[in-house]
Amino acid sequence: MKKPDKIRKFDVIDFLGNGNFGFVFQAYDPLLKADRAIKLIKVPNPEKFVEAVKEAQTLEACRHKHIVDVKEVDVFTYEGTPCVYIAMEYLAQGSIQKHLENRFISIQYSLKIVSEALLGLEHAHNSNVLHRDIKPGNILFGDNGEAKLSDFGLALDYHVDPSDTMGYRPHQPLEVIEGNPMDKLSDIYAMGITLFRLINNISEIEFDFSKVDEWRAAVKANKYPERCYKPHIPRKIKTVINKAINNDPYKRFQSASEFRQAIEKIVIPIDWRPIDDDSWVGTGLNSESYELKKQPKRNGWIIEYKKNGRRIKENCRKELSDSQVTAEFFKIISSSNETVN
């Protein structure tokens, strides 16, 4: 679609990307003197029109500080084609997907993002609305850094509308692949995969299956996505995520609220992040600073552990072989976050 110069009263500034069912532009409202994100959807027939306006109806029913706010919806003709536009708040910080592609996301930050997004999802589910397309690209940041669920283009009222298997394939659970309709528990699964990706800093999951049977078998065997965690991830977080993405929907968290509460019970004493391949730094619950560094020496590798600039001898290591040092390094990081339950 060619970028229009104007959409009704809005001056179009830039093309932001594609969302489900439409194109998204940054625009300016000269009357309110405010930036907006506008989803523009071509609607060649009445059936498509109903599909297009569904998103705005969904978000109107789901106003919440952790859901992207819709300002207005209307119809106009562009290049001879009937279109619908949905004007939403413009969030300049973009999505967590963009951050995931460009920087390291720490454990604590990952938990914060998903916990806030789950507040939005909880509200949506309480309004009888499914999201059906939860992924890092559909979690945006508000002006104060809060997470907001966006792009309800696939959302349905699950008491009225029949669901289908549309959505982001790498985040679809086994029961949906097997032909069952999406429901609240498939949203829980998709949010669990989102958290899995954030804490492991996985920016993309390739979909390389040519047959549905291959895809189904891989998901059933927990091979897609592969349930492999980075070595700094503590066991208590793996336990929560593994429950959220269990292949048996009845063994998952049964609500967004239950999932969120499980996350909020997790205490991360030290939030670590890498500086380079040999050095990590961390921030404690009371803003303490931590440093962990490995260095090769004549008699093998050493690991230096410091808190507020002071060496903590009991957490240091020496005379480690090449085959030992990496495992020991990440064991120190992981165990530092298992000390508080």
- Report whether 12 contacts 27 (CB < 8 A): yes
**Per-residue tokens: 61:** 């029913």
Whether residue 117 is found in the same domain as residue 204: yes
Q: CB-based burial of residue 83 (10 Å sphere; 0-12 exposed, 13-18 middle, 19+ buried)?
A: buried
Query: What is the CATH classification number for the domain harbouring 10?
Result: 3.30.200.20
**Domains contained in the chain, number:** 3
**pLDDT confidence of residue 275:** 98
Whether residue 37 is found in the same domain as residue 103: no
Domain boundary among 233, 265, 297: 265
For 96, residues 6+ apart whose C-beta sits below 8 A from its C-beta are: 105, 113, 136, 137, 139, 140, 141, 147, 198
For residue 4, say if its preceding peptide bond is cis, omega within 30 degrees of 0: no
Domain containing residue 20 = 6-89
**pLDDT confidence of residue 128:** 87
Q: CB-based burial of residue 77 (10 Å sphere; 0-12 exposed, 13-18 middle, 19+ buried)?
A: exposed
Domain assignment of residue 125, yes or no: yes
**pLDDT confidence of residue 161:** 47
**pLDDT confidence of residue 22:** 75
Closest CA to 58 of 20, 104, 11, 111: 20
**pLDDT confidence of residue 21:** 66
Domain boundary among 234, 265, 296: 265
Residues of the chain with pLDDT under 50: 159-164, 340-341
- Report whether 261 contacts 205 (CB < 8 A): no
**Per-residue tokens: 131:** 């999201």
Whether residue 67 is found in the same domain as residue 48: yes
Closest CA to 305 of 266, 276, 327, 336: 336
**pLDDT confidence of residue 234:** 95
Domain assignment of residue 70, yes or no: yes
Give the whole-angstrom CA distance, residue 290 versus residue 308: 6
Whether residue 111 is found in the same domain as residue 142: yes
Whether residue 152 is found in the same domain as residue 280: no
Q: How many CA atoms lie within 13 A of 99 on its CB side?
A: 21
**pLDDT confidence of residue 160:** 47
Whether residue 70 is found in the same domain as residue 175: no
Domain assignment of residue 60, yes or no: yes
Whether residue 48 is found in the same domain as residue 99: no
Domain assignment of residue 1, yes or no: no
Give the whole-angstrom CA distance, residue 21 versus residue 154: 8
- Report whether 55 contacts 39 (CB < 8 A): yes
Instruction: Please give the angle made by the CA atoms of 176, 17 and 130, to the nearest 5 degrees.
Output: 30
Q: Does the annotation place 297 within a ligand binding site?
A: no
Whether residue 33 is found in the same domain as residue 101: no
Whether residue 281 is found in the same domain as residue 257: no
Whether residue 229 is found in the same domain as residue 104: yes
Query: What is the CATH classification number for the domain harbouring 258?
Result: 1.10.510.10
What secondary structure letter does DSSP report for 329? H
Whether residue 74 is found in the same domain as residue 140: no
Whether residue 48 is found in the same domain as residue 112: no
Domain assignment of residue 225, yes or no: yes
Domain assignment of residue 305, yes or no: yes
Closest CA to 65 of 127, 137, 123: 123
Domain assignment of residue 23, yes or no: yes
Domain boundary among 265, 288, 322: 265
What secondary structure letter does DSSP report for 181? P
Give the whole-angstrom CA distance, residue 222 versus residue 239: 15
